[in-house]
A and B are shown apart, each in its own frame.
Chain A
Amino acid sequence: MGTIVFVEDDPTIRKLVQAALRASPHAIHFAADGREGLALVERVLPDVVFTDVSMPQMNGLELADAIRARPALAKVKIVFVTASLQREQIERYLAHGAVAYLGKPFTMADLRQHIDRLVPA
């Protein structure tokens, strides 16, 4: 059973993900911005963090940098969830230490597939 942190400022999307992963065996934690997300990640030490890019307080890229900067969090995988999927932006995400990205709007199947791939059962 793994642990997942989902960082997203839009409450509807948070609600959607929560609903979609109701039946998931993994523990799922939510945060509404990068700063809150970082605190959550440090606390729960998830296997994977799904994060929005454009957020108040601390955006997704800053969150990724902060995680990568902490040796304790070296094993945490990062997935960006974003509507901006131009080639240079994708390169940027990878440069910030992402292992994958999830384009908005995403299907629940996509989401579950990523989780299955990245989180040990």
Chain B
Amino acid sequence: MPRSLALYIAASSIYAALVFLAVHATYGIELGRAGVRLPDPEALLSSIDAVSFAIWIGLSLIAAIVLYSLAQALEGARDVGQQRQDEIAAIFVLGQALSGTLELDTIAERFLASAQRSLDPSVTAALYIHDDAVEGFRLVQERGPHSGRLGAPRYSATSLPAPIRTRVVDHQQSLVVSDAAASAAWPPLATGLVEPAWVRAFAAIPLVSHDRLVGIALFASSRAGAITADTLQIVALGTQFVASAVRTALTFTEAEARADREAIVNRVAQRARASLDPEVVLRATVEELGRALGVQRVVAALGARPDDLRVAHEWRAPGVPPLGRGISDLAAIRQAALTGRTAQVSDEASHLATPIVIAGELAGALSLEADASRDWSVHDVRLVEAVARELRVAMESARLFQARQHENERLLALQRASAVVAARSTTRDVIDEILRTASSLLGQASASIYLWDAAAEVLRLAQNADPAGRNVSVVLARGDGMSGDLLAKLEPVVVNDYAAWAGATTTGVETGLRAVLGVPLVRAGSLLGAIVLRSYDAPTAFTLDDARLLGLFGDQAVAALVNAEAFERQRAAMDQLEKVNRAKSEFVSIVSHEFRTPLTGIQGFSEMMKNEDLSLAEMKEYAADINKDAHRLNRMITEMLDLDRMEAGRMTLHLETTDLNAIVRDSADRVRPNAPGHPITLTLDPALPLLSADRDRLTQVVANLLSNAVKYSPTGGQIVVTTARDGSSARLSVRDHGMGIPADQLETIWERYSRVETEKTRGIQGTGLGLPIVRQIVTMHGGTVWAESEIGRGSTFHVVLPLAANAQAVQA
């Protein structure tokens, strides 16, 4: 008998006895006070007592039994509650165990252990989590006697068994098959399992957190009935904690991955931005990526077309052989370049490639290579894409910087070039330097300078530099050849496909000209000339930028040209001044020297005539000598002044219709009496037209030549004067049979005071100005004069005069 029942019975009995005694005593007192006398009060009392006692005992017993039953019932209820409480406590323990855990493995381990305890030791359990990267479910852990024989390591949304897909994944409800053999739901489930044969009971439950499916749990047992809807309920209750923990862990992992990614991207960005050299940027990128992702190889390829990518940089893990294959074999890169999207390709290795796109144009691609076993996670993909984006930014800024730097370098080169050109002082030097500098400025060896010929209205080649000596147009005229036209309009010419250009010249096409860049040289709005650069190499293309740069250089070149011209003018003026100065000194020297010789004669003879007793004959002779020297002096003065006036352009020709033959005849007649020993023969062309000339000056010419012929030929030497028409000119020749003139002096005889000095000319007096005057007069008439000679045989002086009056003569 249970202790509680005896207790109840004892308690009830004591209670009943106490109540009886109390009642009994009360009745006895009350009866005694009333004086009721009973026949046998003792017996009566005894019988009443006995009955009452019995009744009370009975009542107590009944109460005890009732109480006992009640207590029994209560006890049973309390046991069930305790069990429930224990189960719930286990769930809470699980929840507690899971909270604060961010390791998926730990979460899985604790959950699966707990589930096993709740279900049955024969149960094998597996936890899958949903993985965005693979867009499916990934096994975290499997636990139980049949571990490894339940589910696949990975399920995609479609490879999951259909019932699980619809019920568990889509509707987020549990699925239980307590007895596989008896259930029609089993066979479709079994198809998706690794080894379904041993399974007798099966269940799948969703792990849902905040309405989001974060994973699924699978349970299976080789014992039918080991898993029931009932037992599963407890496990299902616990999944809430698991789901929440998984979700937290996933979120954390994701956040961590994102942080890692950002750290890598930041490092790449930092290194990339530390340099503005695209090469350095690429190198930094592939290195960072390679180290961060633990891959075997990272390749950065550059190129604007998928078929035209080249490896710019390659990073390799230690021990990895260099990339032996061409880019075209890297299927992932090619695919990425073609599609413009990140691509994954698996062959003997696992490849991940993403394109680098700048301003909508393909610029290259990044490619990762790892073991074939490597599955690229969404993090990898995101990282590579982020790096590619960062690379794009860095490369773009590097490119911009380099473009700017290139521009700066060019401007600097321009500045230097301008300085060099400006340092030249003669126009010729400036032109040479402009050519040299323009060529080097744009790296073209073939360059020309044209100068504007205002009279002909064409651009005329001034200088051409071409190492290969190709022909170029000598004249760029308006209307023929478009470049001349454009340049005349002060517009630059940029032609990159010369053969197809409308303005191409045959010269250009024949010499294989590919590209032309020409800029006009402009001063104060008018064309001075042009610089033209030519390229005969296939891929050269001149840009508008080049044209602008050459244009800027052209401005400097113009300034240098103008300066050089001014400088040359200045120098010419200086030279002129110096010449005048020299002429003055020369004049002084001549006056002091040349004039003093005849003066000596005049002075000496007149002194003798004055001081000595002379015969009349001597007097006459000396007077004649004085007279001769006085004439000579006078002639020298006259000729010198004439020559000066002629050379200074101050002498005016008095042009009139002149008969050259008549002049020759008159001159010969005047000379003959003074040269009796020299026969003078005239061979005159009777048909010689009349000239427009200064008769007196022309007479001077003929007289000087005749007098020379007489002076420089021995007595008896014949002198022949010939006139003839020579086309549109009249020719006069004076031939002597004298000593002749050495070849090296044929030119110097035309200079002032130069005399042919040979033994035979000794003693021949002259002013030293005869021939210079002849040449000056002939030149003023627009004619030419020269001498031919043979030593010992004589000389011929030729004068050619135009028949028509010429500009200089009219002006003079």
Question: Which of A's residues lie within 8 Å of B, judged by CB?
Answer: 9-13, 15-17, 19-20, 32-33, 54, 56-57, 82-85, 104-109
Would A11 and B765 count as touching, CB distance under 8 A?
A: yes
Which residues of B sit under 8 angstroms from A12, Cβ to Cβ?
A: 597-598, 600-601, 625, 628-629, 765
Would A33 and B762 count as touching, CB distance under 8 A?
A: yes
Would B759 and A106 count as touching, CB distance under 8 A?
A: no
Say if the beta carbon of B538 comes within 8 Å of chain A: no
Would A84 and B589 count as touching, CB distance under 8 A?
A: yes
Residue in A9, A11, A16, A19 with the greatest tally of chain B CB atoms within 10 Å:
A16
Which residues of B sit under 8 angstroms from A82, Cβ to Cβ?
A: 593
- Least CB distance from B632 to A in Å reads 9
Would B625 and A15 count as touching, CB distance under 8 A?
A: yes
Add 19 more A-B contacts to A84-B589, A105-B602 (CB < 8 A). A10-B601, A12-B598, A12-B600, A12-B625, A13-B597, A13-B604, A16-B600, A19-B605, A20-B604, A32-B763, A57-B757, A83-B592, A83-B595, A84-B593, A104-B599, A105-B600, A107-B604, A107-B607, A108-B611
A17→B625 CA distance, assembly (Å): 13
A9→B589 CA distance, assembly (Å): 19
Which residues of A sit under 8 angstroms from B611, Cβ to Cβ?
A: 108
A12→B628 CA distance, assembly (Å): 9
- Least CB distance from A38 to B in Å reads 14
Would B603 and A105 count as touching, CB distance under 8 A?
A: yes
Say if the beta carbon of B548 comes within 8 Å of chain A: no
A32→B338 CA distance, assembly (Å): 106
* Residue among B602, B603, B607, B765 making CB contact with A10, cutoff 8 Å: B765
**What's the interface size class on B, roughly?**
20 to 34
* Residue among A11, A16, A104, A107 making CB contact with B763, cutoff 8 Å: A11
Which residues of A sit under 8 angstroms from B600, Cβ to Cβ?
A: 10, 12-13, 16, 104-106
Residue in A19, A20, A85, A109 with the greatest tally of chain B CB atoms within 10 Å:
A19
Q: Chain B 718-745, CB within 8 Å of chain A: the 1/0 string? A: 0000000000000000000000000000
Which residues of B sit under 8 angstroms from A16, Cβ to Cβ?
A: 600-601, 604-605, 608, 625
A9→B622 CA distance, assembly (Å): 19
Which residues of A sit under 8 angstroms from B607, Cβ to Cβ?
A: 107-109
Question: Which of B's residues lie within 8 Å of A, judged by CB?
Answer: 589, 592-605, 607-608, 611, 618, 622, 625, 628-629, 755, 757-759, 761-763, 765
Q: List 27 A-B contacts (CB under 8 A).
A: A9-B762, A10-B597, A10-B600, A10-B765, A12-B600, A12-B601, A12-B629, A13-B600, A16-B605, A16-B625, A19-B608, A19-B622, A56-B757, A56-B758, A57-B757, A57-B759, A83-B592, A84-B589, A85-B592, A104-B596, A104-B600, A105-B596, A105-B600, A105-B603, A108-B607, A108-B608, A109-B607
Which residues of B sit under 8 angstroms from A85, Cβ to Cβ?
A: 592
A84→B594 CA distance, assembly (Å): 10
* Residue among A9, A32, A83, A109 making CB contact with B596, cutoff 8 Å: A83
Q: Which residue of A lies closest to B763 (CB)?
A: A11
* Residue among B589, B602, B608 making CB contact with A20, cutoff 8 Å: B608
Would B604 and A108 count as touching, CB distance under 8 A?
A: yes
Which residues of A sit under 8 angstroms from B763, Cβ to Cβ?
A: 9, 11, 32
Q: If the complex has contacts A15-B625, A56-B758, A57-B759, are A105 and B593 also in contact, measured as CB distance less than 8 A? A: no
A28→B64 CA distance, assembly (Å): 200
Give the dominant DSSP class at A's interface.
loop
- Least CB distance from A71 to B in Å reads 29
Q: Which residue of B lies closest to A17 (CB)?
A: B604
- Least CB distance from A106 to B in Å reads 7
- Least CB distance from B114 to A in Å reads 130
A108→B610 CA distance, assembly (Å): 11
Which residues of A sit under 8 angstroms from B758, Cβ to Cβ?
A: 56
Would A57 and B604 count as touching, CB distance under 8 A?
A: no
Q: Which residue of B lies closest to A103 (CB)?
A: B596
A11→B599 CA distance, assembly (Å): 13
Q: If the complex has contacts A12-B629, A84-B593, A104-B596, are A32 and B762 also in contact, measured as CB distance less than 8 A? A: yes
Residue in B589, B757, B762 with the greatest tally of chain A CB atoms within 10 Å:
B762
Which residues of B sit under 8 angstroms from A32, Cβ to Cβ?
A: 762-763
Which residues of A sit under 8 angstroms from B628, Cβ to Cβ?
A: 12
Which residues of A sit under 8 angstroms from B757, Cβ to Cβ?
A: 56-57
Would B597 and A84 count as touching, CB distance under 8 A?
A: no
Would A107 and B603 count as touching, CB distance under 8 A?
A: yes
A15→B598 CA distance, assembly (Å): 12
- Least CB distance from B764 to A in Å reads 9
Q: Which residue of A lies closest to B618 (CB)?
A: A19
**Pairs A-B, 7 closest by C-beta atoms:** A83-B596, A56-B757, A105-B600, A12-B601, A16-B604, A105-B603, A104-B596
A13→B589 CA distance, assembly (Å): 20
A84→B600 CA distance, assembly (Å): 13
Which residues of B sit under 8 angstroms from A20, Cβ to Cβ?
A: 604, 608
Which residues of B sit under 8 angstroms from A9, Cβ to Cβ?
A: 762-763
Residue in B600, B601, B762, B765 with the greatest tally of chain A CB atoms within 10 Å:
B600
A72→B722 CA distance, assembly (Å): 56
Would A104 and B762 count as touching, CB distance under 8 A?
A: no
Q: Which residue of A lies closest to B756 (CB)?
A: A56
Which residues of A sit under 8 angstroms from B602, Cβ to Cβ?
A: 105
- Least CB distance from B762 to A in Å reads 5
* Residue among B597, B762, B765 making CB contact with A57, cutoff 8 Å: B762
Q: Which residue of B lies closest to A85 (CB)?
A: B592
Which residues of B sit under 8 angstroms from A15, Cβ to Cβ?
A: 625
- Least CB distance from A90 to B in Å reads 13
Q: Which residue of B lies closest to A102 (CB)?
A: B600
Q: Which residue of A lies closest to B590 (CB)?
A: A83
Would A84 and B604 count as touching, CB distance under 8 A?
A: no
Which residues of B sit under 8 angstroms from A17, Cβ to Cβ?
A: 604
- Least CB distance from B540 to A in Å reads 67
* Residue among B599, B601, B608, B762 making CB contact with A56, cutoff 8 Å: B762
Would A83 and B598 count as touching, CB distance under 8 A?
A: no
A112→B518 CA distance, assembly (Å): 83
Q: Which residue of B lies closest to A15 (CB)?
A: B625
Would B599 and A105 count as touching, CB distance under 8 A?
A: yes
A89→B522 CA distance, assembly (Å): 57
Q: Which residue of B lies closest to A9 (CB)?
A: B762
- Least CB distance from B595 to A in Å reads 8
A109→B755 CA distance, assembly (Å): 32
Which residues of A sit under 8 angstroms from B603, Cβ to Cβ?
A: 105-107
A108→B609 CA distance, assembly (Å): 11
A54→B589 CA distance, assembly (Å): 12
Q: Which residue of B lies closest to A84 (CB)?
A: B593
A57→B761 CA distance, assembly (Å): 10
Q: Which residue of B lies closest to A23 (CB)?
A: B612
Which residues of A sit under 8 angstroms from B629, Cβ to Cβ?
A: 12
Which residues of A sit under 8 angstroms from B599, Cβ to Cβ?
A: 104-105
- Least CB distance from B432 to A in Å reads 43
- Least CB distance from B597 to A in Å reads 5
A71→B601 CA distance, assembly (Å): 35
A83→B600 CA distance, assembly (Å): 9
Q: Which residue of B lies closest to A22 (CB)?
A: B612
* Residue among B604, B625, B762 making CB contact with A105, cutoff 8 Å: B604
Would B593 and A83 count as touching, CB distance under 8 A?
A: yes
A75→B615 CA distance, assembly (Å): 39
